[in-house]
Amino acid sequence: MLLLAAAVAALIWANMPGDSYESFWHTEVSIRVGDAALALDLRHWVNDAAMSLFFLAVGLEISREVAVGELRNPRAVFVPVLGAIGGLALPALIFLAFNPSGPAAHGWGIPVSTDTAFVVGILALFGPRCPDQLRLFLLTLAIADDIGAIAIMAIFYSEGVSLGALGLAALFVIVLVMLRWVGVWQLRLYVVAGIGLWCAVYASGVHPTLAGVLVGLLVPATPVEPAQSERLRFYGRAVIERADAARARLAVLATRATVPANDRLQDALHPVSAFIVVPIFGLANAGVRLDMETLGRAFTSPLTIGIIVALVAGKTVGVGVGSAIALRTRLGDLPGRVRYGHLIGGGMLAGIGFTISLFIADLAFEDEILRDEAKIGVLAGSLTAAILGSLALRYLGERLPLCTVDESGGAPPLPTGPWRDPTLPQR
């Protein structure tokens, strides 16, 4: 709701008389240490720095699910990953069918991404009607989708990539891997290495939000060793016997050591990411002028139409076909109460492209007219996908068969005719 309110506020602000919206977000802010300085305008501070925290939070959640959650089973990963691959490839092909050549063709990467925040937010509105496994499926799909989209940005939308800076980034990744391998539980070391990784990735010319994903995936989420609990008992008894500052400090450190670094960092970051970073991103990027001339030009433009069709139809079909291949070939399954109706609705919701779609729109086009047409396509396509996906979950979610596997390991056939749930009352 906050993200939606911020997007609406950005549209209102951008269409007010004057140019205060763009002037504000182009205000330059710099951080200087001696002769070294990092100068960015406010919009880039939001997109490049603050949004790294969002991707860090999502990477932490996926890392935890892989380590101790639902994604420990490889069969549970194949379905969303193949769905994400289909959801990346088909929208790009559909967009290129509408824009096979010319300057607009450079925007083929705009409709490939799924906005995690909007999708998870809409699923939250359904409450217990939405199975937890569907949330996990779409979250995993969105992360695989985001990694693919960030890779597309790194390869096709980066200019002047510095190999030296990339090598330094690889060194920071090795440092994070070593910290994880030796079992370091102090968060400050991961934070310092993560900041260094962000700076190196930014200097390399690759989009720095990739650093957030990498750090999130590398912070350890596995349960701590039992010896830590024994230390907590020892230091806790010491505080009970005689409370002083040193013993209290040691007891606090022992308490922190009993909780995985992933959980502690996720607990600290999630409120900041969900309630501050993401709404500010919507406010900084969703503003586009919507006068009659701009709208008339946009909705007759192959660029805008291509983005809308790619987001609405391309994502739905791409995610559905990719997931169906994983189910029918027995590479994976969707356990729990996930039905084909949920899968169809989830595929439609995956067409909500906002975060990285707006990123790539800014990277792809220097022409302001093309950029505005692309943003209108992203907003219109995302709104359409959100409405259709919500309706599909509401009216199809419980009406189609379960996406489970039978005892032999095979996936059930797709529904071919009327189907009744024997657990529901029949007329």
Model pLDDT, residue 401: 64
Lowest-confidence region among 5-14, 188-197, 227-236, 277-286:
227-236
Residues 304-313: b if buried by 16+ CB within 10 A, e if exposed: bbbbbbbbbb
* Size of the chain, expressed as the number of residues it contains: 427
Domains located in the chain, CATH noted: 2-157+207-224+259-396 (1.20.1530.10)
Model pLDDT, residue 37: 80
**pLDDT at residue 15 is higher than 70:** yes
DSSP 300-347: T-HHHHHHHHIIIIIHHHHHHHHHHHHHHTTS----TT-BHHHHHHHH
**pLDDT at residue 100 is higher than 80:** yes
Model pLDDT, residue 410: 45
What tens digit of pLDDT does each residue of 115-170 get? 877 887 788 777 777 777 788 788 778 778 877 887 787 778 877 678 888 899 99
Model pLDDT, residue 135: 81
Query: What tokens were used for 213?
Result: 């994903």
CB 258 within 8 A of CB 226: no
**Residue 165: HSE in the Cβ half-sphere, 13 Å Cα cutoff:** 17
Model pLDDT, residue 406: 46
What tens digit of pLDDT does each residue of 32-91 get? 887 778 888 898 899 888 988 988 887 888 788 778 776 677 777 888 889 999 999 999
What tens digit of pLDDT does each residue of 211-249 get? 888 898 899 888 777 777 777 888 888 888 888 888 888
Model pLDDT, residue 404: 56
Query: What tokens were used for 400?
Result: 């189609």
**pLDDT at residue 377 is higher than 70:** yes
Mean pLDDT across 98-117 = 89
Query: What tokens were used for 11?
Result: 């549209």
CB 251 within 8 A of CB 239: yes
Question: For residues 234 and 239, what is the distance between their CA atoms, to the nearest angstrom?
Answer: 9
Residue, of 233 and 108, whose pLDDT is higher: 108
Mean pLDDT across 273-284 = 88
Q: Collapsing DSSP states into helix, strand and coil, what is residue 41?
A: strand
Instruction: Sort residue 330 into left (φ over 0), alpha (ψ -120 to 50) or beta.
Output: left
